[in-house]
Chain A
Amino acid sequence: MTIVQIIEGPLWYIAAAVFVIGALWRIIGILRLGRRTDLSVPRSAAFPGAVKALFRHMLPHYGFFNRTKLHVFAGYLFHIGLFVVLFFAAPHVAFLKEHVLGFGWEAMPHWAFIVSAQAAFAGLILLWFRRIADPTMRQISDADDHIGSWLTFIAMLTGCLALQESNASLRALHMLTVEIWLIYFPFSRLMHAFTFVLSRGYTGIVYGRRGVTP
């Protein structure tokens, strides 16, 4: 078995298993800590509050936009760019259809890929630059923040190198970096891609019960 075959075969399954099992383990590990029943009399319902908070915190709060616009701009740029590339780049659509989901959808044209990838790169670089340049960001950042940023950057970069799928080694390199990213994911802050639902939801329950519209 060649290295390329290992990367595209068993290593992919191992990485995918670590990602799925690890992420589930961590989420279940959080949820199993439980929460006491709130005995106070609610002003309004908890569940709609949780749903509202899920969406509300996706948008910048009106009161702070001027103070947070760099982060908001870079954050949207990166996340929207990444998600579009992840789910609509032609090779990804084909891969998901063939190896994961069994069905596919219309891939985006090449120009849209370029725009999305540029947006994702620009956003990620801006976010990371802010992390190293701002004294407050330096104060609160740790190694995990940097490792997560760099692994994502490298996975995106190798993805661009493999874009034409003309070279099996480049495609395998992209697969390898993605596999490392997937294995790192459940043990890192990259998990925020899932845990945001819990944190927004729990706060939304409080908002909902108290009748607060954030």
Chain B
Amino acid sequence: MTAAKAVQAFVDTVDAAAASYMEACVHCGQCARACHFYETNDDPRLTPIYKLQPLVKAYKRHKAPFSGLRRMLGLVPAEVTEDELNEWSDLVYDTCNMCGRCTLVCPMGIDIAAMVRKVREGFVAAGIVPEGLTGAADRAINIGSPLGIKPETLRKIVNEQVEEVGIPVELDKEGADYLVILSAMEILNFYEVIGALARIFKQAGVSWTISTEAYEATNIGIQMGDKEIARTLVGRIVDAAEKLKVKYVISPECGHAYSALKWEGPNLVGRPYSFKVVHILELLDQLQREGRIRTRGKDARRVTYHDPCQIVRRGGLVSQPRSILNSVSDGFVEMKNAGVANICCGGGGGVSSNPRAEDYRIRAFASKKKQIDDLQGVEALVTSCANCRNVIEEAIDAYGMDLPVLGLTELLAEYLEPDGGGEPAKPAEA
């Protein structure tokens, strides 16, 4: 029965694009060469296309062209079993960040990340989802955040930042131009970003607010493959944005949150938004180009930039973070394969919320570490995803590395020209 639910979900989720991917694959194995999990485990099972096997089997048995003829001749694959789903669970949830790097190398251009999402939908239907993700989903639905952050906690953290930077932040302000949403990791671990935004937006003259009803950008539904949860979480943001009558919602420094809100959200709620979605990097870049953000001084350290997959490879924002970083850094150097071919931190796609996957995640970081080590001495790593930042910090500890990890928005705020002129900003401490 469990497997039957998964099979039905697999069959239902296959559209023309998914079918064309399964029909076009020539089993060339190139995708393995782009996967950091394959590279760091040397296990043929971790070949990205192999992770789709339950979906491929169900499609070939029930939906593919000629499947009826093949079934009569006994040439269709056997029905997917529950044992098989359990066997594939680590391939689907623990060793795929849905980072999309495999698509770049695929001669057929197969979007394997999107297909893994579809496989996960089958696993959700069957109830075979790692506990770390189901727990986060429960908290997101019942409390409002996958890390259990309540509105009171948000208020407290915002107030602390208001005191820190001396700039008021008006929550639930109707008629503001921009609604800021934050990822759970930002609110709990990197809350200085709130103060940084307050300083930047004050200088740029941006009217903004945070909703106490929809402050959470992280969409665990997208990560685990549960459309209903994904729809509910996007719906909260849409409702709050429309209630507050904002013109824009700012997607924060979080990879999957951007995909969830910008690209998948309207399809989940079934209609276009009445507001525009802008990523914080797009907005900061735009404000800089308009001369509304003025910086003074530059960070002299040799720094590099980690591209979050969903923002760059699956989001199209490549030049904006570089433009911002160059405006505040004298020592920015690129990693090999930076930009669309950058290597994932290892924690995306819900892997960082899944304690079962921790060993895989830490091992996968070896690919990222090599990218960093090849630069032969960088003094800091900058990124624009709080989840990447947290995952990289943990991995850096695990590998005994000494490398500060910085958020791009906060780095920019450090070098803002002080109100009415004044001394250059103090360089960040290493």
Chain A residues near B (Cβ < 8 Å): 25-26, 28-36, 38-41, 43, 53, 56-58, 60-64, 67-68, 71, 75, 131, 134-142, 145, 187, 189, 191-192, 195-196, 198-204, 206, 209-214
Contact = CB atoms under 8 A, between A and B. Distances in A.
Interface of B: 14-17, 19-21, 23-30, 32-34, 38, 44-45, 47, 49-50, 63-66, 70, 103-111, 114, 262-267, 270-273, 276-277, 313-316, 318, 337, 340-341
Contact of A136 (B32, B34, B272): B32
Given A43-B316, A75-B107, A199-B109, A141 B27 contact: yes
7 contacts: A40-B267, A41-B276, A61-B104, A187-B70, A196-B108, A199-B110, A203-B103
Nearest to B28: A71
A46 to B, nearest CB: 12
Nearest to A54: B109
A206 B15 CA distance: 14
A192 B24 contact: yes
A57 B316 contact: no
Contacts of A145: 26-27
Given A39-B272, A41-B272, A202 B17 contact: yes
Contact of A196 (B24, B114, B266, B313): B24
* 10 nearest CB pairs, A to B: A29-B65, A63-B341, A211-B316, A198-B20, A200-B109, A199-B24, A139-B44, A39-B266, A202-B17, A195-B24
A214 B340 contact: yes
Given A31-B16, A138-B44, A63 B104 contact: yes
Nearest to B267: A39
A40 B44 contact: no
Contacts of B341: 61-64
Given A31-B16, A33-B15, A139-B44, A26 B108 contact: no
Given A140-B50, A202-B16, A26 B103 contact: no
Contact of B106 (A57, A201, A213): A57
Contacts of A58: 107
Nearest to B20: A198
Contact of B105 (A61, A134, A136): A61
Contacts of A36: 15, 267
A31 B341 CA distance: 30
A139 B49 CA distance: 11
A137 B20 CA distance: 21
Contacts of B267: 36, 38-40
Nearest to B67: A29
A57 B23 contact: no
A36 B63 CA distance: 18
Contacts of A29: 19, 64-66
A192 B314 CA distance: 25
B66 A203 contact: no
B23 A136 contact: no
